[in-house]
Amino acid sequence: MPISSSSEPIRRRPSAWRRVSQAVVVLLAIAIAALAVLAWLGYRDDSSTGPREAVGDPAQQVAYGAYLAKVGDCMACHTAPGSKPYAGGAAIPTPFGTFYGPNITADAATGIGNWTADDFWRALHQGKGPSGTLLYPAFPYTEYTRITRADADALYAYLRSIPPVTQPSRPHELDFPYGWRPLLALWRGLYFKPGVHADARAAVPAFAAADAVVPDRPALIARGRYLVDGLGHCVACHAPRNALGATAQEAGLPGGDIAGLGWYAPALDGAARTGLGGWSEDDIVMLLKTGTGRHGAAAGPMAEVVVGSTQYLSDVDAQAIAAYLKTIPAPSTGDAPVVRAAGGMRRGAALYEQHCAQCHGAEGQGRGRDWPPLAGNIGVVAPYPGNAIQMVLAGGFAPATAANPQPHGMPPFGQVLSDDDVAAVVTYIRNSWGNAAGGVTSLQVKQARAVGG
């Protein structure tokens, strides 16, 4: 006797395992599609080749290219210590391994002697080699993409004028899996979009001339932004990076750790305590051109930038950079949060009086530009105390510039003071005379010693 008279088959509900499998397949398909889109975005070519402008005076173009090479501090990455200019080999340490600047002289075999002007433009504007090879963003094409075609051609003309040097570029030494270049396509898809600076007033070569006339205020600010955001690539140091090494352009210049070097690049925004809120345009120009100023002196990586780059800025370009930086507002959240010192102030005060006060003053006021002030010094009160720690440990000189050829130096105290001593004195200077930047631990000092060698 049949249990049911219905002729329709019994429908079974899909098992839980089958539903999970279907969901996994769908998610996998979405992930593959997303990766494909990112790869396409990373490999895509910008349709514009940047039409070349007619060159009236080739010698003038080469001279302007030489100036631009200094503005961009190209030699810092493309010239190893003791090597010939632009022959490559300079080490660039990063959390992903060590990059080495390539040979960019006109040597056909080992440099860029076989590159055309279009090839050079493609490298700056799109981050690609002549054959379409994706370049690592240790070469800051993420900022250089803003350079105009005329400026790229001037740089190219200058590099072609340098005597060729036969020296193979040193291979990068990268941790796994960062040495696999196809992964760059995904990174580029997420973080890179080509785009020349939109303001035509920003790239007038006459601004570099010693006798250039100061343009109107909007043009001056536009020029400053062009130099800061493009060839100067200031965001490379003065903004934080995420876990994949990318910076957010829209974040401004709030300051950031300089990975692998133990230094902190201070904020260049309008923050009153940790940024340029208390600086005038003349203060900024003085630091760029001389390496010293009313609020402190350039040290560490910034000292190298002053020596190799900013001291050579024309007066108008230095003024333009200062004018633009003063337009950057303070963050909406205000200054970096203050973490009060947890202790060590009495010990730090005694050490400061014994070792520091003679030069920097009892109130941290400094003396002229030979001994910079510590009170209100944005390098001292930065969120990360690495700058002050490194200076106490290793000492150093302000950059030697044409305007300040024999700067005074600070002796190293790393062999005199223990880690606890350094932590105490740096805690004291970060929390005295109106400074309020939190305490420093002996572990931080120990880590700074390791980074500094």
| 172 marked as part of a ligand binding site | no
Q: For residue 167, what are its two tokens?
A: 């020296």
Q: For residue 438, what are its two tokens?
A: 């939190």
| 197 marked as part of a ligand binding site | no
| 360 marked as part of a ligand binding site | yes
| 77 marked as part of a ligand binding site | yes
374/227 Cα distance (integer angstroms)? 29
| 238 marked as part of a ligand binding site | yes
Q: For residue 94, what are its two tokens?
A: 């990063």
Q: For residue 88, what are its two tokens?
A: 């490559």
Measured from the Cβ of residue 32, the count of other Cβ atoms closer than 10 Å reads 10
Q: For residue 182, what are its two tokens?
A: 């196809």
226/37 Cα distance (integer angstroms)? 31
- Identify the bridge partners of residue 134 per DSSP, sorted by sequence position: 128
Triad 90, 308, 202: Cα angle to 5°: 110
Is 128:137 a contact under the CB 8 Å cutoff? no
Can you say whether residue 69 is alpha, beta or left, with left for phi > 0 and alpha for psi between -120 and 50 degrees?
A: alpha
| 408 marked as part of a ligand binding site | no
237/293 Cα distance (integer angstroms)? 21
Is 367:361 a contact under the CB 8 Å cutoff? yes
| 356 marked as part of a ligand binding site | yes
Name the 3-class secondary structure at 134: strand
Q: Which residue has the tokens 């590159």?
A: 115
CA distances from 354 to 154, 243, 349, 362, 381 (A): 54, 42, 9, 11, 22
Which residues lie closer than 8 Å to 372 by C-beta, 6 or more apart? 292, 295, 296, 297, 360, 366, 398
Q: For residue 316, what are its two tokens?
A: 């108008």
Binding-site residue positions for heme c: 74, 77-78, 234, 237-238, 356, 359-360
Binding-site residue positions: 74, 77-78, 234, 237-238, 356, 359-360
